[in-house]
Amino acid sequence: MKNPYRRHWTLDPEVTFLNHGSYGACPARIQLRQQELRQELETEPVRFMGHRTSLLDRSRERLARFVGAPMEDLAFVPNATHGVNAAIASQRWKPGDEIVVTDHEYNACRNALDFHAERWGATVVVVELPFPLTDPQKIVHAMMAKVTARTVFCLVDHITSPTALVLPVEDIIPAMQAKGVRVLVDGAHAPGQIPLQVQKLGADYYTGNLHKWTCAPKGSAFLYVRPELQADIHPVTISHGYNAATDNRSRFLQEFDWTGTFDPTAWGSIADVIDFMDALVDGGWNAIMQRNHDLTLSMRTMLAERWGTELPAPDSMIGTMASVFIPDAAVKTVEKRGTSVYAELHDQWGIQIPAIPLPNDLGTVVRFSTHIYNTESEYLRLAEAVESLV
Ligand SMILES: Cc1ncc(COP(=O)(O)O)c(C=O)c1O
């Protein structure tokens, strides 16, 4: 059956696009909205930039309701990597301090942690997560087992990148904080994939991408900072906001709102994309996330059954993206052909999906995404494509 929503995206009709997770995809209407804003900007650049705060606050107010956090505590950043970097670069560690991170951490953010830890003489302690697993509490236990009297900071993903696991951050955050550990949650994949109440989660810092699952233009993300910590946080680029008067607006917002001349039209389109998506489907965002979640669960079961592979995690740890092991025989076939699983699926079948060899000889997974424009027939095509390699 034809998907009624696909026409709103400009995705190549020749491609079976099962990789929303990497960079998102922005609907045509929102591309147009951003273009309108760009035209306004280029018509009178000085006036546009002079009024940018009201444009950004319009988006911030809508975002605050979408992610469940006060608008004063939400700064815009271009991406989650930036958000993670700002939070980490604002820490003052000392030699011997320990920082906890998992072995499923996204490479770019792990690099930021290693870079800053080394400068302070702090130690990065890597927790090996149990995987495959059946009980998410085992993750909490594995992480807490690495906390010592020297642990000061924890970076944890809300949804992991290679394995697409929704981690139990609602348990990890209070357990870490009870030990005096500050927690930075990297929610790069969370907004628009799973219902989010950022303030209630209680993390010290939470960053999330909007250009992924919320479908905003590229360069849209936010950083939430607990009010008590805002005095000590700065963007990675110091600009005018650092010494601006704070009578009407916090230094936190002023610093992040302006890090030098840039194009604010992606951030200016955030309210529009949240509203556009909300109006697209009966039941709005909740219905979108539920539909995508249900399709993800049924398709991951179908794929694992057809390929005869084990499901690596319980349904309760899945959002709208899932990693499924492919048969070893398929990996061997592509090795013999001198190609890769990714190239085979892309070049021979027109399927856009990441194929990720996991460490410790665990095997190779394909990580599929489900957004509102995806249809069951696309996953059946993926099933057939992998079977053709066995
Ligand atoms: C867990 C995680 N963190 C951070 C990022 C980086 O996102 P961006 O490139 O938008 O900064 C990703 C990207 O996929 C991710 O999966």
> How, if at all, do strands 363-369 and 351-352 pair?
unpaired
Domains 6-27+283-387 and 30-276 share a fold: no
Q: Is the preceding peptide bond at 168 cis, omega within 30 degrees of 0? A: no
Residue 1: predicted pLDDT: 64
Q: What is the pLDDT of residues 31-85, one digit of tens each?
A: 999 999 999 999 999 999 999 999 999 999 999 999 999 999 999 999 999 999 9
What are the structure tokens assigned to 330, written together? 């398929």
Q: Please indicate whether residue 214, judged by its CB atom, sits closer than 6 Å to ligand 1.
A: no
Looking at the CA of residue 84, tell me the nearest atom of ligand 1: 4
The domain locations on the chain are 6-27+283-387, 30-276
Distance 87 CA to ligand 1 centre (A): 15
Cα dihedral sign for 31, 207, 255, 110? negative
DSSP 290-321: HHHHHHHHHHHHHHHHHHT----S-GGG--SE
Hey, which bits of 203-349 come out as E strands? 205-209, 221-225, 321-325
CATH topology of domain 30-276: Aspartate Aminotransferase; domain 2 (3.40.640)
Q: Please indicate whether residue 163, judged by its CB atom, sits closer than 6 Å to ligand 1.
A: no
Residue 2: predicted pLDDT: 85
Nearest partner of 99 among 1, 206, 5, 184, judged by Cα: 184
Q: Please indicate whether residue 216, judged by its CB atom, sits closer than 6 Å to ligand 1.
A: no
Q: What is the pLDDT of residues 162-213, one digit of tens each?
A: 999 999 999 999 999 999 999 999 999 999 999 999 999 999 999 999 999 9
Q: What is the pLDDT of residues 278-325, one digit of tens each?
A: 999 999 999 999 999 999 999 999 999 999 999 999 999 999 999 999
Distance 196 CA to ligand 1 centre (A): 17
What are the structure tokens assigned to 301, written together? 């079961």
The greatest distance separating any two alpha carbons of the chain, rounded to the nearest whole angstrom, comes to 67
Distance 222 CA to ligand 1 centre (A): 12
Q: What is the mean pLDDT of the chain?
A: 97
CA distances from 42 to 46, 47, 58, 78 (A): 9, 10, 20, 21
Q: Please indicate whether residue 105, judged by its CB atom, sits closer than 6 Å to ligand 1.
A: no
CA atoms of 206 and 186, how far apart (whole Å): 6
Q: Please indicate whether residue 188, judged by its CB atom, sits closer than 6 Å to ligand 1.
A: yes
Write the residue with the smallest CA distance to atom 7 of ligand 1. Answer: 80
Looking at the CA of residue 160, tell me the nearest atom of ligand 1: 1
Q: What is the pLDDT of residues 260-289, one digit of tens each?
A: 999 999 999 999 999 999 999 999 999 999
CA 350 to chain centre: 25
Nearest partner of 173 among 195, 134, 199, judged by Cα: 199
Mean pLDDT of 339-362: 96
Q: Please indicate whether residue 186, judged by its CB atom, sits closer than 6 Å to ligand 1.
A: yes
Write the residue with the smallest CA distance to atom 16 of ligand 1. Answer: 161
DSSP 13-51: TTSEE--HHHH---BHHHHHHHHHHHHHHHHSHHHHHHT
CATH code for the structural domain at 6-27+283-387: 3.90.1150.10
Distance 102 CA to ligand 1 centre (A): 15
Q: What is the residue type of 32?
A: L
Residue from 84, 88, 105, 161 whose mutation best tests the ligand 1 pocket (most atoms within 8 A of CB): 161
Report how far apart the first and last C-alpha atoms of the chain are (Å, whole number): 28
CA 187 to chain centre: 5
Q: Please indicate whether residue 189, judged by its CB atom, sits closer than 6 Å to ligand 1.
A: yes
Q: How many CB atoms lie within 10 A of CB 266?
A: 25
Distance 84 CA to ligand 1 centre (A): 10
